[in-house]
């Protein structure tokens, strides 16, 4: 019998077939070729059967299934439907008051510098509100003793929910009102609905009643959030449910279409791959579980095959011998396709995440942790603003790269072809108008040659005689280097940012383009072990062949885990046993024998008072197979509570860098993963190694270019002609029918018993980098390739700092709302690079760094870390934003090389109101602890006592308070120190790799590049407006109290576009006010640098000091924008900063004003505090409407989910939505605000 495993990708469909005699057939064909066949997977099956049986099987006939035992398939059908907006039109039914919840989302915008905000499209055509309301009974659920309970009717029914929590049915469901709403949907022609009600994860009765009504009315598909994603947080739960209603009908139609091409599939097992890496029978395949259907197969494939190859590799290379203390060799999966690259990690078990974003839609549910970057073989190549850029635009399959002979675009594939890393003579001749020509190497070289001329022309203009012209090969290699650097960033996200050492991993490269880049990626990351599977070109299909059948069941819970109590609460045991029974029965019904069933239990755990949950399995020691509910119940009654606590604490420590002692652990969800072990999941038997392998004989010699060697002739080997145990020294190329492997210099390849390739990358990264340095580069010369590389690296360092801060902080503001920023600065305090955090922080931080450098002068020593927050005196924004600055010294300890800094919004720093955001403050003393300069760490010692003294100092004043949760402040300050230290470590590694002089030079070059772009923008604006060579533009606006903000911008074009400059003069702004809307100068600088960056809309330039170099900012002392040192300023950061931004953008006629505020809401007392910034409307621009319900300009924090708000605070949220029409009318409408 034949068994087929098929991965239907966006460009190609891969088929892995096991024949009746045990042999394997592989096949790759285009996913879309309508002139030849209607369905690629069915065509693959037809071709194999026709060739193997010798019988002609006409395409128009149904395929005979008598020879087919099983068909397994991964597909991008649902993913493509989501990306291309081709899903089923559906309606969402939601609790009244929340109809706009999906439009608002988490209120953040995807690109902070794009004034034309592109919000994700809501995956439903219609939203209908339902009259019903269930609220949590507040007692003991976050409300401090003595707080009044929310008012509810005395007749309201109290129920016990799925979680065990008590809930109040404040408003029962009105079935007739539901029918009326559903009639509206039906009249609109909708046949699929999604239902998501407040707190339905705990109380599902209302959703199920709506399903009953909808079924009676004939709706064809009904997705309930209590079934699709039964977890707290209504926003992602509602989005996921809508995605399911949008995609599942599409999948069902595809499955039926696929089945229709066969005579009878009733006796053939048909399974589809899910996002969690498990198979499921076709009838159970659901939209929201199919998003990673194809990539999931690749993860399973490299995990199983990689484990096998790592066991075999030491037999042929000592470099692959595992270290003595390593239990399992961790593997990074690197799946490089045509349009994108998927990166994942495996260490003995599959890593799942439960909240992901795909096509800008938040998806709840178990998915393999796969990070995607828009860089692949088809990624287009650009040279802009002096920088090499790869993607994110893709040439696609049509027209494709230039070498496809379809008038396509210049791509990574073209660069590889020009460099000799793709060999046309070994590639199928399927190109050109008649699909019978080879790849067009000449066309690719001609296109790159034209681009090279343009690059050299600009290089000579900018650098003069110091510039060395680049060859076509060097430009092509530059783009490959930049692409590799871009693809390394998600690898670092999965490893370094989560506390794993990337250099201890093996790298498994697969996909159509992965083996061409494997050595370059490994060198960049410092990885020395690379694996290329024998089926690397179709490894996703191989993984599907080896995957298990999996059913996932999950249910919300509300319980506490106690390490002192040996047993789990009985409610958790019963919940787990019931879920396990469901899973086992599903597997038995799918034909899985009882002895092949295994049940895995997970508890979703979090520390009380935090929102960060970790899905936790028991610590090692439970390897015994759990086959049914009874086995599971017995295991859970054997004292496992402490093991869950231990596993959770270990995970928390690794993920966040600290542990929370003496704090209860809450159980939010119980999850059971029911696994039916696949017969195909065991590694294939390996070929025996010959006693003395023959020396490999090259099939050809080919000219190829490498950065270390230049262009050289390299041997080309056919994979099938290489004996097991043979080794190949790089540079060389290994070809097979479905992939090309490039073995670079300083690498050595070995043939493994499985006929996979293992590659040893032996040289040190610094040696490789020195040899790969672009020709003619000196310490003082600018190279556009290295400019691109350093742009990526500096940005990556700031991102990793931010990840450490988010991981190690304790406050909700930093960890959940992401109210923080991290950045790298040069030795003068100039901003070099920042992660895309909060604009109001980023422009102000250079002022803080420069003040501290001047204040301390020669008193700074290695091991010192500085703290400040004073807005008027020390470059702060407002007092809750504390900046932690780390200077980094040279080897002598006397000269500062650079600074790193982090600024975080602390939950409370004292003052007259909880949260330190008092609406009625009149002096800065009212707003909390004001710190001008303090050594938070001195000589390596954390100054705990001194920090506490400063934070508690406001309490010495009558009517004032010190920091109300000083322990949390100290914890967050330590997190900022840790984030900075991460930045220091990464910067030192960068200097070790490239040399101090080069790193410091490129800190300046990146700023120079931004400066040129801003000067050019000012020059073009002046010309387009018809302004004189030195001329002025002006704008003004008013605060709600009538205070005037006035700006006059004088632009001088003297010297042409490279010398154009501007003066931003705010002198005519009104005097400072008695209230707190005064804004310190650093906030105005933030607004100006943000606006300048926004006025470069098509640029990828990072925000840095260069944006301000052409500009002089003038603010008059004593005015609203340069207040006295004692003035209150807390509102200036969150309100006035937005008004200043509106005035600057009005001056340049870029867009209309936005909401003009960050929408601050705060309440609390000494025991409880809540702080939020709430979205509003964005201003319209020339050619676009403003976005509604989104954070604009100087902020971009996330909002607390309504269900989390009601769970942790003694409040009920009655409504949260858009204020329709509030954005104003016009040809281009403003975005609506929120209520």
> Tokens for 864?
């010192």
Cα 199 to Cα 133, 240, 549: the distances in Å are 9, 15, 31
Task: Name, in order, each residue with C-beta under 8 angstroms of 946's C-beta and a sequence gap of 6 or more.
Answer: 934, 935
Q: Are 1125 and 1074 spatial neighbours (Cβ–Cβ below 8 Å)?
A: no
In 76-208, the DSSP E strands lie at: 90-95, 126-130, 133-136, 157-160, 166-171, 192-196
Q: Are 1179 and 1151 spatial neighbours (Cβ–Cβ below 8 Å)?
A: yes
| Full 3-state SS string of 547-595 | CCEEEEEEEEEEEEECCCCCCCCHHHHHHHHHHHHHHHHHHHHCCCCHH
Q: Is 621 exposed, middle or buried (0-12, 13-18, 19+ CB in 10 A)?
A: exposed
Fold category of 548-676 in CATH = Dna Ligase; domain 1 (3.30.1490)
Q: How many CB atoms lie within 10 A of CB 159?
A: 15
> What does residue 1052 show for φ and ψ, rounded to 5 degrees?
-115, 125
In 816-933, the DSSP E strands lie at: 820-826, 831-834, 865-868, 881-889, 896-905
* Block residue for tokens 């556009």: 784
HSE toward the beta carbon, residue 382, CA cutoff 13 A: 15
- End-to-end alpha-carbon separation of the chain, Å? 63
> Tokens for 441?
């190497």
pLDDT for residue 780 = 53
Q: What is the rounded distance in angstroms from the CA atom of residue 365 to the CA atom of residue 708? A: 46
* Block residue for tokens 């100054």: 943
- Name the 3-class secondary structure at 882: strand
Q: Is 398 exposed, middle or buried (0-12, 13-18, 19+ CB in 10 A)?
A: exposed
Q: Are 583 and 551 spatial neighbours (Cβ–Cβ below 8 Å)?
A: yes
Cα 109 to Cα 579, 806, 838, 1192, 1199: the distances in Å are 38, 19, 11, 8, 12
Q: What is the rounded distance in angstroms from the CA atom of residue 613 to the CA atom of residue 353? A: 11
pTM: 0.86
Task: Name, in order, each residue with C-beta under 8 angstroms of 766's C-beta and a sequence gap of 6 or more.
Answer: 992, 993
Q: How many CB atoms lie within 10 A of CB 435?
A: 11
Which residue, 511, 535, 543, 437, is CA-closest to 737?
535
942: enclosing H helix or E strand? strand 941-942
Secondary-structure percent of the chain, ordered helix, strand, coil, rounded to 5: 35, 25, 40
Q: Are 697 and 718 spatial neighbours (Cβ–Cβ below 8 Å)?
A: no
* Block residue for tokens 């034309």: 116
In the chain (1235 residues long), the average pLDDT of successive 10-residue segments reads: 90 89 88 84 93 91 92 89 89 96 91 88 93 82 44 73 90 95 96 97 96 96 95 93 95 91 90 93 90 90 92 78 65 87 90 81 86 85 87 80 91 95 86 84 95 90 80 94 89 80 91 90 92 90 94 89 71 90 92 90 85 75 70 81 86 73 86 83 45 85 93 94 91 88 93 92 57 48 83 87 83 80 91 80 85 93 94 92 94 89 92 91 95 94 94 93 91 91 90 88 89 91 93 95 96 84 96 95 92 83 84 96 95 93 96 92 79 93 94 90 89 94 92 94
Q: What is the DSSP string of 210-221?
A: HHHHHHHTT-SE
DSSP 110: S
pLDDT for residue 77 = 86
1222: enclosing H helix or E strand? none
Which residue, 391, 600, 567, is CA-closest to 485?
391
1182: enclosing H helix or E strand? none
Q: How many CB atoms lie within 10 A of CB 1006?
A: 26
Q: What is the DSSP string of 812-845?
A: HHHHTS--EEEEEEETTS-EEEE-S--HHHHTTH
Which residue, 421, 393, 412, 417, is CA-closest to 478?
412
Q: Is the dihedral of CA 642, 643, 648, 654 positive or negative?
A: positive
729: enclosing H helix or E strand? strand 727-729
Task: Name, in order, each residue with C-beta under 8 angstroms of 22's C-beta and a sequence gap of 6 or more.
Answer: none
What phi-psi label fits residue 348: left (phi over 0), alpha (psi between -120 and 50 degrees) or beta?
Answer: left
pLDDT for residue 446 = 96
Q: What is the rounded distance in angstroms from the CA atom of residue 829 to the CA atom of residue 38? A: 62
pLDDT for residue 72 = 95
Q: How many helices (DSSP H) and strands (DSSP E) are in the chain?
A: 29, 46
* Residues linked to residue 192 through DSSP beta bridges, in sequence order: 90, 221
Q: What is the rounded distance in angstroms from the CA atom of residue 784 to the CA atom of residue 773? A: 12
pLDDT for residue 658 = 67
> What does residue 483 show for φ and ψ, rounded to 5 degrees?
-60, -45
DSSP 923: B
> Tokens for 1107?
């944006």
Domain with CATH 3.30.1490 in the chain: 548-676
Q: What is the rounded distance in angstroms from the CA atom of residue 725 to the CA atom of residue 128? A: 66
Q: Are 772 and 759 spatial neighbours (Cβ–Cβ below 8 Å)?
A: no
* Block residue for tokens 């000592």: 318
Cis bond before residue 657 (omega within 30° of 0): no
* Range 314-322 contact pairs with CB under 8 angstroms and sequence separation of 24 or more: 315/689, 315/725, 315/753, 316/689, 316/724, 316/725, 316/727, 316/750, 316/751, 316/752, 316/758, 317/727, 317/748, 317/750, 317/758, 317/760, 319/528, 319/529, 319/760, 319/762, 320/529, 320/758, 320/760
Q: What is the rounded distance in angstroms from the CA atom of residue 620 to the CA atom of residue 1067? A: 67
Q: Are 164 and 557 spatial neighbours (Cβ–Cβ below 8 Å)?
A: yes
Q: What is the rounded distance in angstroms from the CA atom of residue 715 to the CA atom of residue 701? A: 5
Q: How many CB atoms lie within 10 A of CB 868?
A: 25
Q: Are 818 and 1197 spatial neighbours (Cβ–Cβ below 8 Å)?
A: yes
Q: What is the rounded distance in angstroms from the CA atom of residue 884 to the CA atom of residue 865? A: 7
> What does residue 1177 show for φ and ψ, rounded to 5 degrees?
-100, 145
Task: Name, in order, each residue with C-beta under 8 angstroms of 315's C-beta and a sequence gap of 6 or more.
Answer: 689, 725, 753
What letters, b where the CB count within 10 A reaches 16 and e where it falls short, cover 306-323?
bbbbbbbbebbbebbeee
Q: How many CB atoms lie within 10 A of CB 1161?
A: 12
Q: What is the rounded distance in angstroms from the CA atom of residue 220 to the CA atom of residue 240? A: 19
Q: What is the rounded distance in angstroms from the CA atom of residue 209 to the CA atom of residue 169? A: 14
């Amino acid at each position: 019998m034949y068994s087929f495993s098929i991965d239907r990708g966006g460009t190609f469909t891969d088929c892995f077939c096991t024949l009746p005699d045990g042999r394997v057939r592989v096949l790759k064909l285009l996913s879309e070729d309508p002139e030849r066949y209607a369905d690629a997977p069915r065509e693959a099956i037809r071709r194999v059967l026709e060739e193997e049986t010798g019988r002609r099987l006409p395409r128009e006939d149904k395929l005979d299934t008598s020879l087919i035992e099983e068909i397994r398939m991964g597909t991008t059908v649902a993913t493509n439907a989501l990306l291309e907006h081709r899903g089923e039109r559906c309606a969402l039914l939601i609790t009244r008051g929340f109809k706009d919840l999906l439009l608002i989302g988490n209120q953040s915008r995807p690109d902070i510098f794009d004034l034309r905000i592109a919000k994700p499209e809501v995956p439903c055509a219609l939203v209908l509100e339902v009259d019903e309301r269930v609220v949590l009974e507040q007692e003991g659920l976050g409300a401090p003793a003595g707080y009044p309970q929310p008012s509810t009717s005395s007749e309201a029914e109290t129920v016990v929910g799925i979680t065990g929590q008590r809930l109040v049915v404040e408003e029962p469901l009105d079935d007739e009102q539901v029918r009326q709403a559903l009639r509206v949907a039906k009249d609109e022609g909708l046949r699929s609905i999604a239902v998501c009600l407040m707190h339905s994860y705990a109380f599902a009765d209302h959703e199920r009643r709506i399903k009953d009504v909808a079924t009676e009315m004939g709706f064809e598909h009904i997705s309930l959030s209590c079934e699709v994603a039964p977890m707290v947080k209504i926003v992602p739960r509602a989005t996921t449910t809508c995605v399911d209603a949008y995609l599942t009908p599409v999948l069902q139609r595809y499955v039926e279409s696929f089945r229709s091409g066969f005579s009878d599939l009733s006796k053939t097992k048909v399974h589809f791959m899910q996002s969690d890496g498990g198979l499921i029978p076709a009838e159970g395949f659901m939209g929201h579980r199919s998003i990673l259907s194809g990539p999931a197969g690749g993860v399973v494939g490299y995990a199983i095959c990689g484990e096998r190859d790592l066991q075999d590799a030491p037999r042929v290379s000592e470099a692959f011998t595992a270290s003595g203390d390593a239990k399992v060799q961790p593997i990074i999966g690197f799946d490089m396709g045509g349009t994108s690259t998927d990166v994942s990690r495996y260490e003995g078990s599959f890593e799942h995440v439960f909240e992901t974003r795909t096509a800008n839609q938040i998806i709840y549910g178990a998915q393999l942790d796969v990070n995607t970057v828009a860089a692949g073989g088809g990624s287009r190549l650009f040279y802009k603003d002096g920088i090499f850029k790869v993607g994110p635009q893709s040439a696609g399959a049509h027209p494709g790269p230039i070498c496809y002979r379809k008038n396509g675009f210049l791509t990574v594939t073209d660069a590889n072809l020009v460099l000799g890393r793709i060999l046309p003579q070994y590639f199928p001749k399927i190109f050109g108008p008649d699909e019978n020509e080879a790849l067009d190497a000449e066309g690719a070289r001609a296109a790159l040659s034209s681009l090279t001329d343009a690059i050299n022309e600009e290089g000579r203009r900018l650098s003069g005689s110091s510039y060395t012209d680049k060859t076509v090969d060097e430009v092509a290699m530059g783009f490959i280097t930049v692409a590799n650097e871009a693809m390394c960033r998600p690898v670092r996200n999965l490893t370094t940012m989560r506390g794993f050492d990337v250099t201890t991993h093996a790298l498994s490269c697969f996909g159509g383009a992965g083996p061409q880049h494997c050595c370059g990626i490994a060198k960049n990351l410092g990885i020395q072990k690379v694996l290329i599977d024998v089926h690397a070109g179709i490894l996703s299909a191989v993984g599907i062949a080896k995957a298990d059948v999996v059913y996932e069941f999950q249910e919300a819970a509300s319980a506490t885990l106690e390490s002192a109590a040996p047993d789990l609460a009985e409610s958790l045991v019963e919940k787990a046993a019931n879920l396990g029974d469901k899973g086992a029965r599903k597997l038995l019904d799918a034909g899985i024998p009882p002895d092949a069933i295994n049940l895995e239990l997970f508890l979703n755990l979090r520390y009380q008072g935090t929102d960060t949950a970790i899905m936790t399995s028991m610590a090692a020691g439970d390897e015994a197979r759990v086959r049914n509910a009874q086995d599971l119940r017995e295991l859970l009654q054997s004292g496992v509570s402490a093991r869950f606590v231990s596993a959770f604490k270990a995970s928390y420590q690794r993920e966040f860098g600290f542990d929370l002692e003496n704090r209860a652990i809450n159980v939010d969800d119980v999850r059971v993963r029911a696994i039916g072990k696949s017969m195909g999941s065991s590694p294939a038997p390996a070929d025996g190694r010959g006693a003395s392998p023959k020396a490999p004989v090259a099939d050809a010699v080919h000219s190829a270019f490498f950065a270390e060697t230049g262009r050289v002739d390299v041997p080309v080997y056919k994979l099938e002609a290489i004996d097991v145990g043979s080794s190949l020294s790089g540079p060389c190329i290994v070809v097979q029918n479905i992939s090309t492997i490039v073995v670079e210099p300083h690498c050595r390849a070995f043939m493994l018993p499985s006929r996979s390739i293992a590659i040893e990358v032996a040289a040190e990264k610094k040696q490789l980098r020195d040899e790969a340095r672009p020709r003619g580069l000196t310490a003082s010369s600018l190279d556009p390739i290295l400019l691109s590389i350093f742009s990526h690296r500096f940005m990556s360092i700031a991102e990793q700092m931010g990840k450490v801060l988010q991981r190690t902080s304790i406050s909700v503001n930093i960890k959940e709302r992401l109210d923080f920023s991290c950045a790298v600065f040069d030795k003068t305090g100039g901003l070099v690079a920042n992660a895309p955090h909060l604009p109001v922080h980023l422009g102000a931080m250079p002022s803080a760094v420069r003040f501290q450098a001047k204040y301390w002068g020669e008193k700074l020593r290695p091991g010192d870390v500085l703290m400040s927050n004073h807005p008027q005196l020390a470059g702060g924004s407002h007092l809750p934003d504390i900046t932690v600055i780390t200077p980094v010294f040279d080897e002598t300890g006397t000269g500062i090389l650079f600074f790193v800094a982090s600024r975080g919004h602390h939950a409370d720093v004292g003052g007259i109101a909880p949260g330190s955001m008092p609406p009625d403050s009149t002096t800065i003393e009212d707003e909390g602890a004001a710190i001008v300069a303090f050594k938070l760490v001195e000589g390596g010692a954390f100054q705990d006592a001194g920090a506490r003294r400063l934070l508690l100092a406001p309490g010495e004043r009558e009517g004032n308070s010190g920091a109300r949760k000083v322990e949390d402040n100290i914890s967050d300050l330590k997190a900022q120190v840790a984030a900075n230290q991460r930045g220091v470590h990464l910067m030192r590694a960068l200097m070790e790799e490239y040399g101090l002089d080069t790193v410091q030079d490129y800190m300046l070059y990146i700023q120079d590049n931004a400066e040129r772009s801003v000067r050019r923008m000012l020059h073009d604006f002046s010309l387009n407006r018809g302004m004189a060579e030195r001329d002025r533009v002006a704008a003004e606006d008013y605060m709600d109290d009538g205070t005037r903000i006035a700006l006059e911008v004088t632009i001088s074009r003297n010297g042409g576009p490279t010398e154009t400059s501007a003066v931003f003069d705010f002198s005519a702004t009104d005097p400072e006010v008695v209230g707190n809307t005064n804004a310190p100068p650093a906030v105005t600088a933030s607004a100006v640098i943000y606006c300048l960056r926004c006025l470069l809309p098509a640029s990828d330039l990072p925000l840095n000091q260069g944006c301000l170099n052409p500009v002089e900012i003038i603010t008059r002392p004593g005015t609203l924008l340069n207040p006295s040192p004692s003035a209150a300023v807390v509102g200036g950061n969150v309100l006035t900063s937005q008004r200043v931004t509106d005035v600057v953008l009005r001056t340049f006629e870029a867009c209309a004003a936005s909401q003009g505020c960050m929408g601050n809401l705060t309440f609390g007392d000494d025991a409880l505090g809540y702080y939020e910034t709430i979205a509003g409307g964005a201003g319209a621009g020339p050619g676009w409407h403003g976005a509604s319900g989104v954070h604009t300009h100087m902020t971009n924090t996330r909002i607390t989910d309504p269900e989390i708000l009601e769970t942790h605070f003694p409040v009920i949220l009655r409504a949260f939505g858009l204020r329709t029409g509030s954005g104003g009318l016009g040809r281009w409408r403003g975005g609506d605000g929120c209520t």
